[in-house]
Amino acid sequence: MTTTVPPRVALHDVPTAAELVAAVREFLADEVLGAVAGATRFHTRVAMNALGIVERELAQGGADVLAHRQRLARLGYADDAGLAEAIRSGAEDGRYAEVKAAIAESVAAKLRVANPAYLKETP
């Protein structure tokens, strides 16, 4: 079953949310970071990292969320809480490899957004 994310219907004019986030992150990197020190420099880096996460999440366009839902559905669960409870109770012990693969892909999808440097993947 192939499911695609529907194309974005533009309500808002350009710049898009992704373009705005990128512009702010680039401003912080190019103009602010070199002009500040100490705690302000640290918080500027935190802000830049947060904006990078938002950029990567927006770039997914919901495809990662849809894929996660499909993984859960293939395992027979509507949400993470249901799967977690089944794992804790031992109900999924017989499908260890399948559950492990689904969880590993979900973790990888999260890392692709949160911090792709933690993965050993080629972008």
Question: In this structure, are 70 and 55 located in the same domain?
Answer: no
Phi and psi at residue 113, to the nearest 5°: -90, -50
> ω before 116 within 30° of 0 (cis)?
no
Question: In this structure, are 67 and 109 located in the same domain?
Answer: yes
Is 112 a domain residue? yes
pTM: 0.79
* Number of structural domains the chain divides into: 2
What pLDDT sits at residue 12?
80
Question: In this structure, are 56 and 84 located in the same domain?
Answer: no
Question: In this structure, are 109 and 66 located in the same domain?
Answer: yes
Question: In this structure, are 44 and 73 located in the same domain?
Answer: no
pLDDT tens readout for residues 40-97: 999 999 999 999 999 999 999 999 999 999 999 999 999 999 999 999 999 999 999 9
Is 2 a domain residue? no
Is 56 a domain residue? yes
Question: In this structure, are 57 and 90 located in the same domain?
Answer: no
Single out the residue of 1, 6, 106 nearest to residue 62, CA to CA: 6
Does residue 10 surpass a pLDDT of 80?
A: no
At 37, is the secondary structure helix, strand, or coil?
A: coil
Does residue 21 surpass a pLDDT of 90?
A: yes
Single out the residue of 59, 69, 60 nearest to residue 105, CA to CA: 69
* Integer Cα distance of 3 and 67 in angstroms: 9
What pLDDT sits at residue 13?
85
Does residue 1 surpass a pLDDT of 50?
A: no
Question: In this structure, are 74 and 50 located in the same domain?
Answer: no
For residues 99-117, average pLDDT: 96
What pLDDT sits at residue 17?
92
Domain extent for 97:
62-116
Is 110 a domain residue? yes
Question: In this structure, are 49 and 70 located in the same domain?
Answer: no
What pLDDT sits at residue 68?
97
Question: In this structure, are 47 and 89 located in the same domain?
Answer: no
